[in-house]
Structure 1
Amino acid sequence: MNNFSQSQIVRKPAVSSQGGIVASQHRIASEIGVEVLAAGGDAIDAAVAVSFSIGVLEPWMSGPAGGGAMMVWRADEERPYALSYGMRAPKGLDIRDFPLSGEGIAGDLFPWKRVVDDRNLEGASAVAVPGVVAGIGTAHGRWGRMPWRDLVAPSADLARKGLSVDWYAGLIIASAARALAKDPDAAALFLEDGTWPPVGAWTALTDLRLPNARMADTLATIAANGPGEMQDGDVARALAKDVTEKGGSLRYEDLRDYRAELGDPLSIEAFGGRCHMTPRLTAGPTLADSFARLEALGSKPSEGERLSAMATALSGAYEHRLATMGDHESPAAPGSTTHFSIVDRQGNMVAMTQTLLSIFGSKVVSPSTGLLLNNGIMWFDPEQGRPNSLSPGKSCLMNVCPAIGEKDGTRFAIGASGGRKILPAVAQLAFRMLALDNDLDTAFHAPRIDVSGGKTVIADEALGPDILAELGKDHTVKAVPRLPFPYAFACPAGVMRRADINFGAAEPTSPWGDAVAERSVERFV
């Protein structure tokens, strides 16, 4: 490990408590979730509050106009559930509106053939039917204890007060400023004079904020009227009208007819325990494939040999995924996703991942609702006759991978953000906790590799020269530092329960991510 890497060693210790814990990509969202748990809420109640609040705190990652999936563990039933609410192509979408340009490969997350004017990447034409509110509403209707209004209201307050622009927020906005400037409503919300990215706080006394009054009103309406407001209320009508006027194919009927899918997870025996994951159009089946390949390779005595076997298993599983499931996302792209994990004092758990797809989604804001819109149409191959070809009403294939594992009385819920980097992170964390009996703190601080479809294994420099050399015997390896930016690895968050003690951890290098335990919490917003 070189001097730079040695100077960048960061620890973010796991927290523990007999009460509930929320681990997310933003500490304020974790605190809001813990306040719900402290008030007697279920893990699902906390998930509602975190889902909406984090959509305000890091709006470029997710929000009510996105999609996602969650894994739920119900301690009272002693069983897991999978809930999917991914984005779908509008029923009125016309594939003729996405002609191939003949100019090579699109430049965002997926190396599809390029579409004229990048209509599947940016702008209202890229907007798919969102599912986050329908999904979280379905979970709350089944298991929630606290009033919906009380869980959504804090997010409206956050939106009215405004997004706090520090160095990290300023960097993210700057990275998309050129594209945001194309949409007047996005430019007005995120840019100065409709052109320039805002400069973040330079001192502790500086607090630059970007308020979103329209989003605050929308969230207040959803809080008052329930999750159905996003599907068949005034918010749904206004959102569909805005997308139509900007040239998209999303209609009110698409929102009205959307339904989340609640059912049994994909459950497998793994490393002496069990792992439960989302089935079908997620990375869950690929995680199961990776574990089957890894177990077939047999146990390995050294860390270098274990990582080499993991790289082989992930590479093979991704090759199968690319050939059969239609997912051809570029391994270099970070994606725009957030993940949080929750455990309450009864042992109920939630692992939830939600996304807009690209950073800032379609780079379009709905002026009537203040919501940043997804670009889910980019999840489809614009070339017809392929496994994941664009088609009206079709569900999107996602890389999200929320998972729940259990072994010898210990249970954990994990997931991550980071596009195709999600699966390798979840696989390694779950392997460590199942096969190596690591606690949450050890698993989250252990150096990782990334194998997400390319021939090169990206490895954390902190592994050291001996392990890197052993890994390099069978793989082409590129060693990089584990930093918050650029994104070499995924950003996980997880919780664990052993006996009656809960634990929580967030990615150590995440600038905002943190796990918060149920005890005295003071928020400085």
Structure 2
Amino acid sequence: MIRDNFSNMQSVRKNVVTVENGGVVAAQHKHGAQVGADILAAGGDAIDAAIATSFAMGVVEPWMSGPAGGGAMMIYRADEDRTYCITFGMRSPAGLDVADYPLSGEGVAGDLFPWARVVGDRNQIGATAIAVPGTVAGMGLAFDRFGTMPWRDLVSPAAKLASGGLSVDWYAALIIASSTRELAKNPTAAETFLEDGHWPTIAGWTALSDKRINLDRMAATLQRIADKGAREFYEGDLAAEIVADVRDAGGCLSLDDMKSYQAILSDPLATSYRGGMVYTPPAMTAGENLAECLEILSHQDFEGTSPGADAYGAYVDALKTTYKRRLRDMGDVDDSRAPACTTHFSVTDRHGNMVAVTQTLLSIFGSKVVLPGSGLLMNNGILWFDPEPGRPNSLAPDKRCLMNVCPAIGQHKDRRFAIGASGGRKILPAILQLTSCLMDFDMTLEDAFHQARVDFSGGDTVIIDQSLSPDIVAALGERHRCVTTRRTAFPYAFACPAGVLRQGNINQGMTEIMSPWGDAVAEHRDGS
């Protein structure tokens, strides 16, 4: 069955960024990518640039990610010809009491997951939704193990960005407007993002606006992290201030939670595919689901230079298989209504090192709590847990959160690539199809990102890009409940990917073609 949401068609193109003997950063916000590219130009490598980009993205997209979030990163070291994984997912506080999250009996919650609703949405909004953050620890571990430039030089650019404030363009205004009611419940969040309890005004139809949101407190916090190191966030005076502010707001985060938090460096999952390799994060991510999908696809042969009906059918079948297992065994429940509330960026340098990072606050604006001392927007990682007991992902104290992130590094023939995406459950389908485009069909990075995608995220409906040929749409409709829709700038019916690719000494970067904010930026050295 096919339901068509739109009848007219449009075509959008975005150019791939290419550089010879230089590095590239591809991110969901060009200003964040520029910070990473500047680090490459200053002599840093891909890991240095990724650390700098991570902190910068928390400034230019504060509703997506930040120091008080979590995620995962994949690292390829060209000098070792080896791939590593660093996971820095959030954890529930050790002092969390499940009894503080009673079920209301009022049906299904309305945010990312269709859990049973908790009284007062305590697992979703406010300080009771805050989990132990991991992003700063993840970047700190990457620096300790692989960093080449001074830590201060990597974090200070984000502090400088924050000191200039957040530009309120139409997208920022729209995102703030979508969360105004919840932001208004927290005094510091309201003071930071709202104007007299309302979303900020922007310019008229034909005018430009220089309106900026003051992020001075965040800037000062980032500079403290730059000056004192990553563990200041977990063990120093800053950690004590964060804990005090969270507890004053009603949360249960403790200093012991912060001090005991450690990111994890491990070997990735390694999946052989089409004579190449794909590396993904291990447990508590969607990495093992991507590996399962690739194993299923490996038993089929596809013809042509781009995916046809057989390939798209195989994608959906593989996704249905892995989501059935994920929802049953890993405890993660689907809701394809969820907006993209994560960020992803990928980096490659002139030496061939690569990094893919996905980081998140979970919901848009996380818990909708901004701490008065640090100015940090806090996560709502507790929402990742099912509030009903007796399930694989049920809420409990001192427990790792199950994430949808799936940064990946692949190698096929003479090419290597690093990709990932934001978009909740839509991440896995996007990364599966991009990987197939690059490895099954030897497509260019540019063509792979422009290739129409389908989405199946564990519900009962396959979402199809309406630009696919009628034959492919009809073939999928014969076997699945389908809906066609347009690939647009907002909202995203599909995930929002970013990736880099290296072939010889040529590096390329590409971001989601419909995102006007995402872009790839090449390093520029004087005289190059």
Q: TM-score range by the shorter chain?
A: over 0.9
Q: Counterparts of 1:174 and 1:144 in 2: how far apart (Å)?
A: 39
1:177 shift after superposition: 0.6
Q: 2:347 aligns with which of 339, 342, 348?
A: 342
SS in 1 for 2:92: coil
DSSP-derived class of the 2:478 partner = coil
Match for residue 14 of structure 1 among 13, 16, 21? 16
User: What are the residue-to-residue correspondences of 1:184-263 with 2, within 5 Å?
Assistant: 184-193=187-196, 195-202=197-204, 203=206, 205-263=208-266
Other-structure match for 1:452:
457
When the two chains are superposed, the root-mean-square deviation of aligned CA atoms in Å is 1.5
Tell me how far apart the structure 1 counterparts of residues 193 and 25 of structure 2 sit (CA, whole Å).
28
1:291 deviation in Å? 1.3
Shift, 1:520, TM fit: 6.2
1:44-63 paired onto structure 2 within 5 Å: 44-63=47-66
Q: Distance in 2 between matches of 1:400 and 1:499?
A: 29
- CA deviations on 1:170-211 (whole Å, 9 max, x unpaired) are 111101111111111101100001x11112333554211001
Q: Kindly report structure 1 stretches of 4+ aligned residues shifted beyond 6 Å.
A: 1-4
Letter in 1 for 2:60: L
SS in 2 for 1:6: coil
C-alpha deviations, 1:48-78, integer Å up to 9, x for none?
1100111010100000000000000000000
C-alpha distance in structure 1 between counterparts of 2:285 and 2:133, whole Å: 16
Q: What is the CA distance between 1:295 and its match in structure 2?
A: 2.5
Name the residue aligned to 2:317. 312
The aligned counterpart of 1:374 is 379
Partner in structure 1 of residue 68 of structure 2: 65
SS in 2 for 1:473: helix
2:340–2:492 Cα contact (<8 Å) kept: no
Could you tell me how far 1:300 is from its partner in structure 2?
5.6
Shift in Å, 1:293 = 1.9
- 1:326 aligned to 2:328? no
Secondary structure of residue in 2 paired with 1:493? strand
Aligned mates of 2:521, 2:207 — CA distance in 1? 23
Question: How far is 1:401 from its partner?
Answer: 0.1
How many angstroms does 1:5 deviate by?
A: 4.8
Distance in 1 between the 2:489 and 2:161 partners? Answer: 24
Query: 1:366-405 counterparts in 2 under 5 A?
Result: 366-405=371-410
In structure 1, what is the Cα distance between the partners aligned to 2:231 and 2:352? Answer: 29
The amino acid across from 1:386 in the alignment is: R
Q: 1:42–1:348: 8 Å Cα contact kept in structure 2? A: yes
Corresponding residue SS for 1:462: coil
What does the per-residue CA deviation read over 1:434-480, in whole Å, with 9 as the maximum and x for residues that have no partner?
11111110100101011101121101111132221122121222110
TM-score under structure 1 length normalisation: 0.97
Distance, in Å, in 2 between the alignment partners of 1:506 and 1:32 is 16
Aligned 1:22-61 pairs, distance under 5 A: 22-61=25-64
8 Å contact kept, 2:348–2:500: yes
Equivalence for 1:412: 417
Cα distance, 1:114 vs. partner?
Answer: 1.0
Shift of 1:511: 2.2
The answer as to whether partners of 1:5 and 1:462 remain within 8 angstroms in 2 is: no
The answer to whether 1:281 aligns with 2:274 is no
Displacement of 1:518 in angstroms is: 1.5
- C-alpha distance in structure 1 between counterparts of 2:73 and 2:496, whole Å: 16
The DSSP-based 3-state class of the residue aligned with 2:298 is: helix
8 Å CA contact retained: 1:272, 1:435? no
Tell whether 2:475 aligns with 1:473. no
Alpha-carbon contact 1:339-1:416 (below 8 Å) kept:
yes
- Kindly indicate whether the alpha-carbon contact (under 8 Å) linking 1:98 and 1:382 is maintained by their aligned counterparts in 2: yes
The 8 Å contact of residues 304 and 470 in structure 1, kept in 2 or not, is answered as yes
Identify the residue that residue 520 of structure 2 maps to in structure 1: 515
Q: Distance in 2 between matches of 1:382 and 1:474?
A: 34
Q: Show structure 1 runs of 5+ residues with no match.
A: none
TM-score calculated relative to the size of structure 2: 0.96
Q: Is residue 2:368 matched to residue 1:363?
A: yes
- The CA distance in 2 between the partners of 1:233 and 1:410, in whole Å, is 44
Match of 1:370, SS state, is coil
* Structure 1 residues 173 and 4: alpha-carbon distance in aligned structure 2, compared to 1, 3 A threshold: farther
* Residues 36 and 49 in structure 2, CA contact (< 8 A), matched pair in contact too: yes
| Structure 1 counterpart of 2:358, one-letter code | T
Task: Report Cα offsets for 1:206-225 as digits up to 9, x if no partner.
Answer: 21100111111100100100
| 1:334–1:287 distance in 2 versus 1, CA, 3 Å | same
- Displacement of 1:487: 1.7
Alpha-carbon distance, 1:266 to partner = 0.3
Kindly indicate whether residue 77 of structure 2 is the aligned counterpart of residue 74 of structure 1.
Answer: yes
The whole-number CA distance in structure 2 between the counterparts of 1:172 and 1:446 is 27
CA contact under 8 A between 2:76 and 2:354: conserved in structure 1?
yes
- 2:509 and 2:521 in contact (8 A); partners too: yes
Kindly state the Cα deviation for residue 484 of structure 1 after the two structures are TM-superposed.
1.6
